[in-house]
Amino acid sequence: MTTPLSSWAEGTAKTTILQFVERVTDADGSEFVPPEGRIATFDNDGTLWCEQPLQTQFFFGRDQLQKMAAEDPGLKERQPYKAFLEHDIGAIKQLGKQAFFEVASAAHAGMTEDEFHVHARDWLVHAQNPAKGRRFVDLVYRPQLELMEHLRQNGFRVFIVSGGGIDLIRAFSEEVYGIARSQVVGSSVRTRMEVCNGKVDLLKLAELQSFDDREAKVQNIALHIGRRPIFAFGNSDGDLAMLRYALSGSGLRLALLLHHDDGEREFAYDREFAISPLAEALDRAEELGITVVSFKNDWRDVFAEQRSFREDELSAARPAIQR
Amino acid sequence: MTTPLSSWAEGTAKTTILQFVERVTDADGSEFVPPEGRIATFDNDGTLWCEQPLQTQFFFGRDQLQKMAAEDPGLKERQPYKAFLEHDIGAIKQLGKQAFFEVASAAHAGMTEDEFHVHARDWLVHAQNPAKGRRFVDLVYRPQLELMEHLRQNGFRVFIVSGGGIDLIRAFSEEVYGIARSQVVGSSVRTRMEVCNGKVDLLKLAELQSFDDREAKVQNIALHIGRRPIFAFGNSDGDLAMLRYALSGSGLRLALLLHHDDGEREFAYDREFAISPLAEALDRAEELGITVVSFKNDWRDVFAEQRSFREDELSAARPAIQR
């Protein structure tokens, strides 16, 4: 990339990011961080791609529940499935974020890891965001793809730390974000190992293992990454613990918060989004030293169409994945 | 590395490994595996470094318990601490492998992640294996360092998947193995996030989170790596599930089992090592297509002294860590 962050408008956010990267990579500077310490973590829903009208996880789970309801019509009458099947936003928001994830992911219980991966890719190749009339994978933010690339170019190891399902993100993270599956951290369900005809497989269960939100993001960063990030980017109160964790280490640190204030090009929301609101983090950003990024003012360009994620190209050449 | 595997003796094991790597990296061959699929997993204790007379985790935990016993003499009279403090191998083996790990790791409860890391490095710089009179970090196997380097040179991403404590291994994996902390999978304890003077830290608890052995190795590979390895290397029945998982995928696969049959240069043991025996895996190796590596016959050279792991050099230049 010749000009870094070309989709970012000139301003405080862009300048802050570029100066941060310069300072931690300047081997002669007092704020130099060796490559192994250059850990960057990004939330996914609402930070790397669109999360309105609801997170992609919901539509993925709902479509699977619809298949199940065709076999078992009784499902249509049982909550919380009823709410999902009728796209009853009010009832869904009543569930709360964790139960929301549990229902969405339980729909895939019984699949092996390999079956789930194929199923998720088949779904992602076609599935569209109803509010935008575009595929979910085409609603990733171009400025963030540029930012992650700029960080990688400067020796950072970039991770996703999401409340969404870890295996759903892994089904597109390599082609779409250039992020290896092993650098994706997310919510997960328990699995059971089975030996069938001498073949060892893992079966997904309906039981939640980790809901990767708030404090759990910090705990899962320690478990999966084993280092405190020096750079963290989120967009909701669910990311506040991760941002504060990054800022709590010694040396230079950068924590960013995306504010969705662009009703024209995307969506304008914060406090009222019940599934994943932005309130405390926004109110305390200045006090805590978190840089707020305005979707409307800091981003010149918004979405990046994923030419690399077509059915006929799923196993074809793809952008370089960070090794 | 000009000559790969120079510490390996000519023979079936060396030839099998070199041919496997050639075949999966031959872009024109029918068995080609793209780089993102080249996942290799290694057990640690007894596979990458010496695990006799007991795993390093034991001595690490015991030394901490001794400090605690100085404060609280009653500890000397309570099991299982008594067994650790008196190095009562019989009683320790009675505990079983999981309780063994729980006691060894519970000794560090109450430390923050950062404190633990410094503590572990300070310990590893000096701590010696009593049976060998050499530092634990100097008892890593040179043939395995060469093998991991050969795999990385050929586009593999190399992971450790160990029953040992994930954070103890991370305290030396970068300098000693060239393996980033994020590519270490192991047993773990639960943590609690604390905000102290506005600083966010993680506190280690005495409660086990995951004992990374047998089926759990397969489950944790799926959780941390998100891909089925095409190459796996172990040395005990605790690794059998991981080896079978690797072999159960489609395409060319390689699973190796190190047999400690060298009483002269290291130790000769398998079935009778109660903490982590090798019996079923050895008996079924041929049937399952697992290649057995003889410590005595397949390795010409054994230990690799860690010049890079000295107190005065802990933060100095180190071998390249896989990015």
Task: Determine the pLDDT at residue B275.
Answer: 87
Q: Please give the pLDDT value at position B317.
A: 42
What pLDDT shows up at residue A305?
80
Question: What is the mean predicted confidence (pLDDT) over A38-67?
Answer: 96
- What pLDDT does A94 receive? 86
Over residues A164-180, the mean pLDDT reads 96
Confidence of residue A306 (pLDDT cuts 50, 70, 90): confident
B191 with A166: Cβ contact below 8 A: no
**DSSP label at residue A78:** S
How does pLDDT run across B137-159, given as a tens digit for each residue?
A: 999 999 999 999 999 999 999 99
Q: How does residue B98 score in pLDDT terms, banded at 50, 70 and 90?
A: confident
Indicate if the pLDDT at residue B261 is higher than 80: yes
pLDDT at site B21:
98
Q: Give the model confidence (pLDDT) of A124-144 as tens digits.
A: 999 999 999 999 999 999 999
Query: Among A14-23, A73-82, B257-266, whose mean pLDDT is lowest?
Result: A73-82
pTM attached to this predicted model: 0.95
Q: DSSP secondary structure string, A152-217?
A: HHTT-EEEEEEEEEHHHHHTTIIIII---GGGEEEEEEEEEEEEETTEEEEEEEEEEEE--STHHH
Mean pLDDT along residues A104-112: 91
SS3 category, B252:
coil
pLDDT at A17 over 90: yes
The arithmetic mean of pLDDT across residues A220-235, rounded, is 98
Q: What is the pLDDT of residue A93?
A: 84
Token output for B310: 């000295």
Residue A121 has pLDDT above 50, yes or no: yes
Contact B35 A215 (CB under 8 A): no
| Sheet with B199-210: strands ordered across | B199-210, B184-196, B157-165, B39-42, B231-234, B254-259, B291-294
User: According to the model, what pLDDT value does residue B316 have?
Assistant: 44
Of A303, A259, A305, A300, the C-alpha closest to A8 is A300
Cβ pair A148, A38 in contact under 8 A: no
In this predicted structure, the answer to whether residue A318 has a pLDDT above a threshold of 60 is no
ipTM: 0.95
CA distance A158 to A161: 10
For B285-301, the pLDDT digits (tens) are 999 999 999 999 999 99
pLDDT at position A320 is: 65
Segment A70-79, tens digit of pLDDT: 999 998 998 8
A226 to chain B: which residues are within 8 Å by CB? 166-167, 170, 181-182, 184
pLDDT interval class at B58 (50, 70, 90): very high
* Minimum Cα–Cα distance from B180: chain A residue: A36
> Residue B311 pLDDT > 50, yes or no?
yes
CA distance A253 to A274: 30
- What is chain B's percent helix, strand, coil content, to nearest 5? 45, 20, 35
Judge whether residue A90 has pLDDT over 80: yes
- B271-287 tens-digit pLDDT: 998 889 999 999 999 99
* Closest CB from A166, A223, A244 relative to B200: A244
pLDDT for the residue numbered B314: 53
- Selecting from B188, B225, B322 the residue whose C-beta is nearest the C-beta of A223 gives B188
Residues of A with CB under 8 A from a CB of B: 35-36, 39, 113-114, 155, 157, 159, 166-167, 170, 174, 180-184, 188, 191, 193, 195, 198-202, 209, 215, 218-219, 222-228, 241, 244-245, 247-248, 321-323
* Phi, psi of B207, deg, nearest 5: -90, 130
Is the distance from CB of B54 to CB of B95 less than 8 angstroms?
Answer: no
Q: How many CB atoms lie within 10 A of CB B238?
A: 25
| pLDDT for B132 | 95
Tally DSSP H helices, then E strands, for chain B.
Answer: 13, 11
- Give the model's pLDDT for residue A314: 53
As a whole number of Å, the CA-based R_g of chain A is 20
Mean pLDDT value across chain A: 93
Q: For residue A23, what is the enclosing H or E element?
A: helix A12-25
Sorted by where each starts, the structural domains of chain A and their CATH numbers stand as 12-52+139-317 (3.40.50.1000)
pLDDT of residue A96: 84
User: What is the full DSSP assignment across B149-196?
Assistant: HHHHHTT-EEEEEEEEEHHHHHTTHHHHH---GGGEEEEEEEEEEEEE
Predicted pLDDT of residue A32 = 98
Minimal CA separation from B135 to chain A, in Å: 24
- CA distances B56 to A191, B104, B313, Å, are 30, 10, 22
| Per-residue pLDDT at A310 exceeds 80 | no
Q: Is the pLDDT of residue B125 over 50?
A: yes
Q: What is the mean pLDDT of residues B159-174?
A: 97
Maximum pairwise Cα distance, chain B: 67
pLDDT of residue A2: 66
- Give the per-residue pLDDT at A274: 81
pLDDT (0 to 100) of residue B106: 84
Q: Do A200 and B248 touch (CB under 8 A)?
A: yes
